Amino acid sequence: MPRFTVHVRDEWLAIPCKDIACTVGWLGKEALRRYIRNKPDNGGITSLEDVKFYVRRCQGLGLLDHADVLEDVLEDNDFVEVVIEGDVMSPDFIPSQPDIHLYTIYQEPEKYIFLDGNSLNTEDLLDLGKGLYKIKLTSEAENKVRQSRELLESIVKENKVVYGITTGFGKFARTVIPKSKLKELQENLVRSHAAGVGKPLSPERSRMLLALRINVLAKGYSGISLETLHQMVEAFNASCLSYIPEKGTVGASGDLAPLSHLALGLMGEGKMWSPKSGWADAKYVLQAHGLKPVSLEPKEVLRIFNLFKSLSSVFKRISKQIIFYAFLTDIHNLRPHPGQVEVAFRFRSLLDSDHHPSEIAESHRFCDRVQDAYTLRCCPQVHGVVNDTIAFVKSIIQTEINSATDNPMVFARRAETISGGNFHGEYPAKALDYLAIGVHELAAISERRIERLCNPSLSELPAFLVSEGGLNSGFMIAHCTAAALVSENKVLCHPSSVDSLSTSAATEDHVSMGGWAARKALRVIEHVEQGTVHLKVVF
């Protein structure tokens, strides 16, 4: 029997349909009837006959006509929203709903990237985030996962006391949990730790986070079951993405809040997004894609948690945004930092050649000026260190992407588990603070060059580059926009990784604050990108 998932205000309802020749109007009324029946006050509706409503598909938000026949406009397990006339907004509305184009242009990929836990690179990660590929595990990775799980199951069977497997977590590490309660322990851990706040990560970043989690679990040091890992892969391939708030992590023990929300959706609880459904209850999204909720076994929750990879998933390629000027090879060979040398080379390539001599150099042949301002003269040095910063951070992130960060670690070949601290996020936290500071300089030096162009006392050009000043303001506000972005970046560049607040009853007594480092770095990068695009459009 066909079934449709219908959203009415704050409720998701599963509506079975015995006759697909029924109309959209019938579906809307049936959903409203069930909604009213479930409310003590009938949802404030006195008569169903007096209610005026609209019906639209969740995918693309297209309106449906009440007379449309269901079999003509909807598919089995489709998602539909009923909007009551007079309601301003559904109380269940999620503020950062992805743009409508994400629903309409999404095409399910046909190509796959094979993950083994060791060879994922940042370019592939970005492509996975964009939804360009599905995921498959290598056979070698599957074998390692099986061996790791077999060791863990033997530990449970023998009633050994091992942190996170047969005990509680954090401050409760000495509390031994009965075998009959181990499954309940996993579920309780997810629910209690899903305490993040703020708007959800975008589908692109959620895909990257899920892909990173799958990649590290594929290393075979986690003890997760192959069945659970396959379910995670299936959820990724169907683009079923949990609601993951961006705030709530202190950068220790594996981004507990964000990854709890990731796990919660996979369990069929909380909210989930897919191109087919938009935001809906996770259980309905999974059902619509023919997937079953993950049933977590001992230690599997900790395996999903102990990964400081939500930092890595905000990594962006930005080095190609740089503007270049020319300088002599002899100068830069005397201070041969790779980024500085490369930037100077690009300057020369763009602005001077045998076929196209530099017009700038020619115009200054008889100039009495000895040297230019730093913002012009020191471009290779300033832009160069940004290049080197990005390369350094990329190397840190690349290592993180393919690192095992679990605790305890399961060594199947040695038949033992060992506790350690690979979950600590200090490496990416420090690197991302450094990235924010480095990238900020691109905007800072660029804003000073805009000032030199717009200020007639510096440029010897008309004020704000406009011939009829006063009648026209020229590029006055373009410069203000750039200055505003740079000013905000200066505050954001204060490093978060120098701070630490003790949590978990002083068990986690030094944390990296890497989640905030990641979000700040991302915002700085966005400001630089916005400023670049804005100024390209204006100038």
Q: What's the one-letter identity of residue 360?
A: I
Distance separating alpha carbons of residues 280 and 503, to the nearest angstrom: 33
482-488 contact pairs (CB < 8 A, 24+): 482/443, 482/446, 482/447, 482/450, 482/531, 482/534, 482/535, 483/447, 485/443, 485/447, 485/527, 485/528, 485/530, 485/531, 486/440, 486/443, 486/444, 486/447, 486/527, 486/531, 488/527
| Residues near 195 by beta carbon (within 8 Å), at least 6 away in sequence | 248, 257, 260
Tell me, letter by letter, the H, E, C secondary structure of 165-186: CCECCHHHCCCECCHHHHHHHH
Burial status of residue 147 (CB atoms within 10 A of its CB: 0-12, 13-18, 19 or more): middle
Contact status, residue 419 vs residue 408, Cβ threshold 8 Å: yes
**Residue 22 CB neighbours (<10 A):** 15
Distance separating alpha carbons of residues 348 and 390, to the nearest angstrom: 22
* Cα dihedral value 32, 34, 37, 43, nearest 10: -30
Contact status, residue 383 vs residue 327, Cβ threshold 8 Å: no
Q: Which two tokens stand for residue 414?
A: 């040695």
Length of the chain: 539
What is Dmax (Cα atoms) for the chain? 89
For the annotated catalytic residues, the residue numbers are 163
| Residues near 297 by beta carbon (within 8 Å), at least 6 away in sequence | 182, 183, 186, 225, 228
The residue whose two tokens read 């996962």 is 145
Distance separating alpha carbons of residues 64 and 61, to the nearest angstrom: 9
Of 319, 261, 302, 262, whose CA–CA distance to 438 is shortest? 319
Q: What's the one-letter identity of residue 512?
A: S
